[in-house]
């Protein structure tokens, strides 16, 4: 005997419902396969370690290029984590179910991005002081560096998420995604690297950080809706 649910029970969709659903599900999936998060972080550490080997390990030079190298490394690592963000959901039909759910797209799109950031952006931010030490950055610069990454990597996740959703099912795969996402990352890179560089040269990092914060607010306001729309276009 199958116990049917009561027909006609009004089901309620809400932002919070979609957000917590997407976040809980994606975090559980990431927990089942922690290797992806580990690979992102390993890639970041590896790229950052290649620079001293490539351009020389002179301490003064390293201190100067450190902030920029760390930001570029974090940006590339965040980019590499993008293709998987929607591809699996697209292939197994979860995106269709999400589009047809009573929860607004805003909610589950934001939830997916939040989970993605926790798995990719957050570990990068936490690891950055360690890499910064390898480059001989001063403690205050390290703090500003971590802060700029903490504000900046969510913007990368949001922008990259939108591009990844737009490129679903497109010919050209990874290269196309790079062409779409990396130009949009440029301002984030400029402000982010600028903040710790300003701190390192004795200037105030505040203007950069506030611009980065403004970018984060703008991204939080606009991009989840854009991601929802991109997904809707993709499943059409």
| Closest residue by Cα to residue 157 from 104, 207, 109, 90 | 109
Contact between 97 and another protein by CB under 8 A: the answer reads yes
Region binding another protein by CB under 8 A among candidate stretches 15-23, 66-74, 75-83, 141-149: 15-23
Q: Least distance in Å: CB of 7 to another protein?
A: 4
Q: Least distance in Å: CB of 10 to another protein?
A: 7
Residues 158 to 217 in contact with another protein, rule: CB under 8 A: 159, 162-163, 166-167, 169-172, 176, 179-180, 182-184, 186-187, 190-191, 194, 197-198, 201, 203, 207-208, 211, 215
Q: Considering the complex, state which of residue 29 and residue 87 has its C-beta at the smaller distance from another protein.
A: 29
Residues 34 to 73 in contact with another protein, rule: CB under 8 A: none
Q: Considering the complex, state which of residue 59 and residue 169 has its C-beta at the smaller distance from another protein.
A: 169
Longest dimension (CA), the chain: 75
Q: Considering the complex, state which of residue 134 and residue 189 has its C-beta at the smaller distance from another protein.
A: 189
Interatomic CA distance for residues 164 and 173, integer angstroms: 9
DSSP string, the chain: ---PPPTTPPP---HHHHHHHHHHHHHHHHHH-THHHHHHHHHHHHHHHHHHHHH---HHHHHHHHHHHHHHHHHHHHHHTSTHHHHHHHHHTHHHHHHTSSS-HHHHHHHHHHHHHHHTHHHHHHHHHHHHHHTT--HHHHHHHHHHHHHHHHHHHHHHHHHHHHTTT-TTHHHHHHHHHHHHHHHHHHHHHHHHHHHHTTS-SHHHHHHHHHHHHHHHHHHHHHHHHHHHHHH-
Q: Considering the complex, state which of residue 13 and residue 139 has its C-beta at the smaller distance from another protein.
A: 13
Q: Least distance in Å: CB of 146 to another protein?
A: 20
Region binding another protein by CB under 8 A among candidate stretches 61-69, 78-86, 94-102, 138-146: 94-102
Region binding another protein by CB under 8 A among candidate stretches 28-36, 40-48, 74-82, 123-131: 28-36
Residues 71 to 90 in contact with another protein, rule: CB under 8 A: 88
Region binding another protein by CB under 8 A among candidate stretches 20-28, 75-83, 124-132, 144-152: 20-28
Which of residues 34, 59, 102, 139 is near another protein by CB under 8 A? Answer: 102
Helix 139-166, helix 84-92: angle, nearest 10? 30
């Amino acid at each position: 005997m199958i116990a049917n649910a009561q027909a006609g029970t009004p089901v309620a969709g809400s932002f919070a419902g979609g957000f917590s659903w997407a976040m809980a599900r994606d975090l559980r999936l990431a927990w089942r396969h922690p290797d992806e998060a580990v690979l992102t972080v390993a890639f970041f550490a590896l790229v950052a370690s290649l620079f001293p080997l490539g351009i020389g390990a002179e301490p003064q030079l390293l201190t100067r290029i450190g902030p920029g190298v760390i930001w570029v490394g974090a940006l590339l690592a965040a980019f590499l984590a993008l293709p998987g963000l929607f591809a699996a959901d697209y292939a197994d039909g979860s995106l269709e179910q999400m589009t047809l759910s009573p929860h607004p797209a805003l909610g589950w799109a934001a939830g997916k991005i939040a989970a993605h950031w926790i798995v990719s952006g957050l570990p990068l931010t936490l690891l950055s002081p360690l890499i910064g030490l390898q480059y001989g950055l001063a403690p205050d610069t390290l703090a500003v560096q971590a802060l700029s990454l903490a504000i900046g990597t969510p913007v990368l996740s949001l922008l990259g998420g939108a591009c990844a959703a737009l490129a679903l099912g497109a010919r050209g795969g990874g290269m196309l995604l790079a062409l779409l996402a990396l130009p949009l990352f440029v301002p984030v890179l400029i402000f982010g690297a600028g903040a710790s560089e300003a701190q390192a040269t004795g200037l105030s990092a505040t203007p950069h950080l506030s611009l980065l914060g403004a970018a984060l607010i703008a991204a939080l306001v606009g991009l989840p809706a854009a991601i929802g729309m991109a997904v809707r276009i993709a499943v059409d």
